[in-house]
Structure 1
């Protein structure tokens, strides 16, 4: 999607979140029996910011954990832990987020923490696998050249391996972030403040306008987030001297 279209989407979303009542006429045909066309129980802007904060926290924690595990198991001293690390990264994909929420609520109570746990576990695998692929497929001549200059293993990791691996790692983070953005809506079932609150309110009251509003905001955010990460991937690829980037994940 080209930049002008993305700019229009971002501007339209911002206007809607700041002045949702200006769009009442657009959503009125989706209501029945005099139901309100715009969700007003909580500010849509506040819900959006809370939703993004949850996703950012979960993806940030998942990124640090998954990249750290990826680095560990690609070092000679940590290769024996690869099966265990892969098992840990697969936990989130083995248990659906709804199941994680059901298990977490008795331990953590209602609110943001069960949702953060579910999103964290669900986001580990794509980041871990992309980190593993990126660090494991570095060109041997590059590694040899780094060793030949007298760099220590830590210097090679920080100055050579991670910069070259960064585009593919960012692809994994992008995939995790976009998935988490959509998945976070279920957090409202356990009293987390997300845009799922709008969708659930619409389903409970048979108000299609609310359902469309919640889904529309999440959908536009996903498109914009995906575009931002793609831009970061291209910049990282250029900085690493990679003319082409063949990411694993969403294109």
Structure 2
């Protein structure tokens, strides 16, 4: 087993133990607290909080992917090319307004809880996926496209059987970027009562408990690295299957 892979397996194993049996790390986290402070976050179950965090990210990125890919497909069709500036403006909304600002605007309309966080993450995830999908669909090998037209494929058949499969590694690169950003950004959702790992970090900051901050930060960081690596590996596998190289293969 390669050293890098071995390290990631070890990190995953430690993460699972931390989530399932956090008391096993009590002595370690006790190094970062005062004698009167609890070393392990017990105001909520770490596993439940982490699963909630991941669920929020998955839903938001799933919605971002559907909208961004649909917009990119629309503007790469002859009848939709004129909508490119509008589509790009829509995808840029999340980058124009910081997530904190989106939360502040969404709370009065949606109330406290998960909904404002989903809106912020959804908007923030649009641009990388849209731009990568656009790149993937507009840089397809011309000989392959000519061959698909030559065999009599319809526009729908070319899209679903040729264009999207060939563009998938590049689309996945955008999804990977949006997912990693969302994993970190979701922590601010706890400021509006969303159940994310931000509640562990905020609890540590408000009470001066460094161990809580470390627990929340370590879980988010390890998740980000593991998910990033997993999606990168999937990109490379897809790139080999389709014969298309992405930056991940360089």
User: Aligned partners of 1:154, 1:71: CA distance in 2, in Å?
Assistant: 11
User: Aligned partners of 1:11, 1:79: CA distance in 2, in Å?
Assistant: 48
Confirm or deny: 8 A CA contact 1:168 1:247 kept in the other structure: no
> 2:99 maps to what in 1?
97
Structure 1 residues without counterparts, runs of 5 or longer: none
> 1:60 maps to what in 2?
62
User: Aligned partners of 1:225, 1:60: CA distance in 2, in Å?
Assistant: 15
Please say if 1:188 is aligned against 2:190: yes
TM-score of the superposed pair, with normalisation by structure 1: 0.96
Match of 2:25 among 23, 26, 35: 23
Q: For residue 247 of structure 2, give the secondary structure of its aligned residue in structure 1.
A: coil
Please say if 1:220 is aligned against 2:222: yes
- Deviations 1:157-203 (Å, cap 9, x if unpaired)? 11111111000000000000000000000000000000000000000
Give RMSD over aligned pairs.
1.3
TM-score of the superposed pair, with normalisation by structure 2: 0.97
> 2:77 maps to what in 1?
75
Structure 2 residues without counterparts, runs of 5 or longer: none
> 1:3 maps to what in 2?
5
> 2:210 maps to what in 1?
208
Tell me the number of residue pairs that the alignment of Structure 1 and Structure 2 aligns.
248
Confirm or deny: 8 A CA contact 1:48 1:194 kept in the other structure: yes
Match of 2:49 among 40, 47, 57: 47
User: Aligned partners of 2:157, 2:177: CA distance in 1, in Å?
Assistant: 29
User: Aligned partners of 1:125, 1:5: CA distance in 2, in Å?
Assistant: 32
Please say if 1:245 is aligned against 2:243: no
User: Aligned partners of 1:224, 1:136: CA distance in 2, in Å?
Assistant: 30
Q: How big is the shift at 1:246?
A: 2.1
> 2:162 maps to what in 1?
160
Q: How big is the shift at 1:33?
A: 4.3
Confirm or deny: 8 A CA contact 1:55 1:181 kept in the other structure: yes
Confirm or deny: 8 A CA contact 1:198 1:211 kept in the other structure: yes
Confirm or deny: 8 A CA contact 2:29 2:211 kept in the other structure: yes
Q: How big is the shift at 1:226?
A: 0.2
User: Aligned partners of 2:118, 2:33: CA distance in 1, in Å?
Assistant: 33
